[in-house]
Amino acid sequence: MHVLATAGHVDHGKSTLVRALTGMEPDRWAEERRRGMTIDLGFAWTTLPSGRTVAFVDVPGHERFVPNMLAGVGPVPAAMIVVAADEGWMPQSAEHLAALHALDVRHGLLVVTRADLADPGPAIGRARTEIARTSLGDVPAVAVSPVTGAGLAELRTALDRLAEGLPPPRVDGPVRLWIDRAFTITGAGTVVTGTLGAGRLRAGDELELTGGHRTVRVRGLQSLGTPAAEVTAVARVAVNVRGVDRNAVARGAALLTPGAFRLTDLIDVRVHGDPAADLPATITLHAGSAAVPVRVRPLGPDTARLRLRQPLPLRIGDRALLRDPGRHHVAGGVTVLDVAPPALTRRGAATARAAELSTMDGVPDAAGELRRRLLVRRDDLARMGVAATGPAVAGDWLADPAHWARLRERLTAEVTAYARERPLEPGAPVEALRRRLGLPDRALVEALVRPPLAIRTGRVTTGSIGVPENLVAAVDKAFADLKGRPFTAPEANRLAELGLGARQVGAAVRAGLVVRLADQVILRAGAPERAVAVLARLPQPFTVSEARQALDTSRRVAVPLLELLDGLGATRHLPDDRRIIEKPPED
Ligand SMILES: Nc1nc2c(ncn2[C@@H]2O[C@H](COP(=O)(O)OP(=O)(O)OP(=O)(O)O)[C@@H](O)[C@H]2O)c(=O)[nH]1
Ligand SMILES: [Mg+2]
């Protein structure tokens, strides 16, 4: 199926033409038929001579209903521009064309109708000139009169040729169905309709409904009035959704493939049209079938930041338009450059951002996103519309290679600094390093660790390169008999028995397994810190003997341990040989 939107000034014969082509009534409302004027979108379809099906979204031409017109054309990439032979080019001919151009619609057809009332030549000439200046370029033109039937056969042939030239849709991509109507059918519940531009829908699918982040299930589908188990883009589709109150859904909402889009209320855009500086401070953004007021902050000559009053499921590269409803003025199209832009709080940030945006074009660019974001989850990028295929550094985290290399250097520096600040600890906790490096996930710290750095029990240590298994086992054995007595050192002969000579003990110290108090006097790493906590509970000051008893250890350990603590500034040695705790223990 192909979908075309009509466009053109009020009363120029759009609905009459659609009726003549399809035999269907696009003006659905009694009020429309009474007033002879389209107010809201109408839908009709027909089969072309080739057998192709074409569906029309018939739009209103009256200036008051331009927002309805935009909701209809937003998701439709091809247009049938209708001009009355007897009236010629008129204000909404121009405004509709400006809207199509702003949305970068590239496929279309000019139909000069009411050809029984006047020579269609002048209208064709003027309209083609106007259209040639836009994204539509040179379009074929057909003169018709639904009243006499003249030109309708040629028009059908021209529609076939247009349909043939339309780019094929992405049918494997995610679904973003912009809703243009929502209503209730007795017995079936809520039904929404829209133009499916990409992807496929199946009965039973789960989808996300914007507006409340709700998951809804597709109960049934119809396309062109016929029930279908599956509908593939491009198509007009009616979706019966389970579990949604009619009042909870309206035009401008969208049904989305779950997890495939992010709702954003802050975007950076390129503006095609008026200079960014000339945009009013508030204006309406039309995207898909949605219309949302936005606050504009110009950044560069043709770039701006838009703050949306309601979030929309937008992606990098999306095309939308800005219209000033007060002035009936399409200010221009926008290309979405960023849907998760950085805050502009630092001085000079806006200028720097403008320079950055000037290099962006809305074509999803994974390497560029990594360079700008430094670290980002693959899923988050996909939700922005950027498919990144490179390897993750940890989990689903992707990193800019240069940034990752810098982080690795900073990690080494932080681990070294931590060891200097807290020599009693067996390495820096992963969580502390995560905070110091400002990283969002501990898995990133772990992934940064490379020899000679190593991770042991949640801490990153320096110099534990190649700690042999048997050294770890020997150290474990040396302390095995001393469970519950953390301040007792293994006897020297026990160390000798286990093959822990001076060299092996040195390696165990470097690996962060033990701390050395004196020659062949070692404690488990972390024991000195725990000692400070015990000593802090003693009446101050305290003697060596009181410390020894409190720690349940020997003088062989207590004396060098206290000296170590003195050296670290944890305790202070008083002239009367007693000590006080200098620094309260940290947790
Ligand atoms: N003589 C003649 N009258 C026509 C022709 N096409 C449309 N009309 C008349 O023009 C008037 C407007 O036609 P519509 O089809 O409602 O125009 P429209 O463009 O859909 O108008 P809006 O939807 O309100 O923008 C109606 O009275 C039609 O009968 C034609 O080819 N010849
Ligand atoms: Mg009409």
Mutation to probe ligand 1, out of 11, 21, 83, 111 (largest number of atoms < 8 A from CB): 11
Distance 272 CA to ligand 2 centre (A): 29
- Tokens at residue 220, please? 């049934």
Ligand with the closest atom to the CA of 63: 1
Q: What are the tens digits of pLDDT across the range 163-186? A: 999 999 999 999 999 999 999 988
CA 568 to ligand 2 center in whole angstroms:
86
**Over residues 194-216, mean pLDDT:** 92
Judged by average pLDDT, the poorest of 37-51, 173-187, 443-457, 538-552 is 443-457
347-376 mean pLDDT:
94
- The whole-number average pLDDT for the span 326-340 is 93
Which residues have C-beta under 5 Å from ligand 2, the single-atom ion? 14-15, 38
Q: Are 574 and 541 in contact (CB under 8 A)?
A: yes
| Whole-number average pLDDT of the chain | 92
- Give the Å distance between the CA of 131 and the centre of ligand 1: 22
Check residue 264 and give its pLDDT: 97
* pLDDT tens-digit readout, 455-466: 877 889 876 445
Ranking 220-234, 294-308, 455-469 by mean pLDDT, the lowest is 455-469
What average pLDDT score do residues 152-162 get? Answer: 97
Tell me which of 116-125, 186-195, 399-408, 415-424 is least confident.
Answer: 415-424
- What gap in Å lies between CA 58 and CA 469, rounded to an integer? 76
CA distance 80 to 78: 7
| Contact by Cβ (8 Å): 276, 302 | yes
pLDDT for 416: 83
Predicted confidence (pLDDT) at residue 467 exceeds the cutoff of 70: no
The Cα 177–Cα 45 span in angstroms is 19
Tell me the average pLDDT across 134-145: 97
Per-residue pLDDT, 463: 61
213 beta partners: none
pLDDT at 472: 82
- CA distance linking residue 13 with residue 152, whole number of Å: 13
Quickly tell me which residue has 């994204």 as its tokens. 135
Confidence bin at 494 (pLDDT 50/70/90):
very high
| Mean pLDDT score, 123-148 | 97
By mean pLDDT, which of 94-98, 231-235, 404-408, 458-462 is the weakest?
458-462
Indicate the pLDDT class of residue 281, thresholds 50, 70 and 90.
Answer: very high
Q: What is the pLDDT of residue 584?
A: 63
pLDDT at 465: 47
pLDDT band at residue 85 using 50, 70 and 90 as cut-offs: very high
* Residues 6 or more apart whose Cβ sits within 8 Å of residue 180: 41, 57, 71, 72, 75, 193, 194, 195, 251, 289
- What pLDDT score was predicted for residue 410? 93
Predicted local distance difference test score (pLDDT) of residue 424: 67
What average pLDDT does range 560-577 have in this prediction? 92
Residue 542 is given by DSSP the state B
Q: Is 151 in the pocket of ligand 1 (CB under 6 A)?
A: no
Q: In this model, does residue 294 exceed pLDDT 80?
A: yes
- How many Å from the N-terminal Cα to the C-terminal Cα in the chain? 68
Mean pLDDT of 501-523: 86
Q: What distance in Å separates the CA atoms of residue 467 and residue 182, rounded to the nearest whole number?
A: 67
Looking at residue 458, what is its pLDDT? 84
Q: Is the pLDDT of residue 346 over 70?
A: yes
**Is the pLDDT reported for residue 257 higher than 80?**
yes
Ligand 1 in reach of 11 Cβ (< 6 A)? yes
* Closest among 255, 300, 265, 253 to 279, alpha carbons compared: 300
Averaged over 144-152, what is the pLDDT? 97
Quick check: 129 and 93 in contact, CB under 8 A?
Answer: no
pTM: 0.80
SS3 576: coil
Which pLDDT belongs to residue 133?
97
For residue 76, pLDDT over 50 is answered with yes
Identify whether the C-beta of residue 375 lies closer than 8 Å to the C-beta of residue 399. Answer: yes
pLDDT at residue number 242: 85
Q: What is the mean pLDDT of residues 476-480?
A: 90
pLDDT at 28 over 80: yes
Distance, CA 178 to ligand 1 centroid (Å)?
A: 29
Average pLDDT for residues 428-450, to the nearest whole number? Answer: 94
User: Does the C-beta of 61 come closer than 6 Å to ligand 1?
Assistant: yes
Looking from the CA of residue 12, the nearest atom of ligand 1 is 19
The atom of ligand 1 lying closest to the CA of 38 is 23
**Pocket flag, ligand 1, residue 36 (CB < 6 Å):** yes
